[in-house]
Structure 1
Amino acid sequence: MEVSLPNNWKNLTLEKYDGSTDPDEHVTVYITQINLYTSEDAILCRVFLKMFKGAKLSWFAKLPPYSIDCFDTLVMKFEAHFATSKPHHLTSITLVNIRQKKEESLRAFMEKFGRVALSIRNLSPKMTMHHMVTTLKPRLFVDSLCKQPTTDLVELRQRATKFMQLEELKSFKSQIRAIEGVERREKDGGRWRKPKDVYKGP
Structure 2
Amino acid sequence: MYNGRTDPVEHVSQFNQMMAVYSKDEALMCKVFLSSLGLVAMRWFDGLRPNSIDSFKQLTQAFGFHFITSNRVPRPLDSLLSLSMREGETLKANSDRYWEMYNEIKGNYDDVAISTFKSSLPTKHGLRKSLTGKPITSQRQLMDRIDKYKRVEED
| TM score, norm. by length of structure 2 | 0.72
Q: How many residues align?
A: 154
Q: Is the 8 A contact 1:92 1:123 kept in 2?
A: no
Displacement, 1:125? Answer: 1.7
Deviation per CA, 1:72-122: give whole Å up to 9, x if none.
Answer: 122111101011122354333222121123554544433432333334443
Partner of 1:35: 20
C-alpha separation between the residues in 1 aligned to 2:40 and 2:98?
A: 41
Tell me how far apart the structure 2 counterparts of residues 60 and 39 of structure 1 sit (CA, whole Å).
Answer: 22
More helix by share: 2
Task: Give the aligned partner of residue 135 of structure 1.
Answer: 120
- What amino acid does structure 1 have at the position aligned with 2:72? P
In the alignment, is the contact (CA less than 8 A) between 2:16 and 2:23 conserved in 1? no
Q: Percent same amino acid at aligned positions?
A: 28
Instruction: Please give the alpha-carbon distance, in whole angstroms, between the structure 1 residues aligned to 2:39 and 2:88.
Output: 52
Equivalent of 2:62, from 65, 77, 80? 77
Select the residue among 98, 102, 106 that pairs with 1:113. Answer: 98
Measured in 2, the distance between the counterparts of 1:78 and 1:134 equals 42
2:126 corresponds to 1:156 = no
> Is contact 1:102-1:137 (8 Å) kept?
no
Q: Counterpart of 1:27 in 2: which secondary structure?
A: helix
Q: Distance in 2 between matches of 1:108 and 1:35?
A: 36
* Structure 2 CA distance for partners of 1:132 and 1:42, relative to 1, 3 Å: same
Q: Which runs of no fewer than 5 residues in structure 2 stay unpaired? A: none
**Pair 127,49 (structure 1): closer, same or farther in 2 beyond 3 Å:** same
CA displacement 1:29-48 (0-9 Å, x = unmatched): 32233334452223322333
In structure 1, distance between residues paired with 2:143 and 2:50: 56
Provide the rounded CA distance (Å) in 2 between the counterparts of 1:50 and 1:168: 45
| RMSD between aligned residues | 3.2
- The one of the two structures with greater contact order (alpha-carbon pairs below 8 A, sep at least 6) is 2
Larger Rg computed on CA atoms: 1
Aligned partner of 1:151: which letter?
Answer: T
> How far 1:132 sits from its partner (Å)?
0.7
Query: Which of the numbers 96, 109, 112 marks the counterpart of 1:124?
Result: 109
- How far apart are residue 65 of structure 1 and its match? 6.4
CA distance in 2, matches of 1:164, 1:153: 16
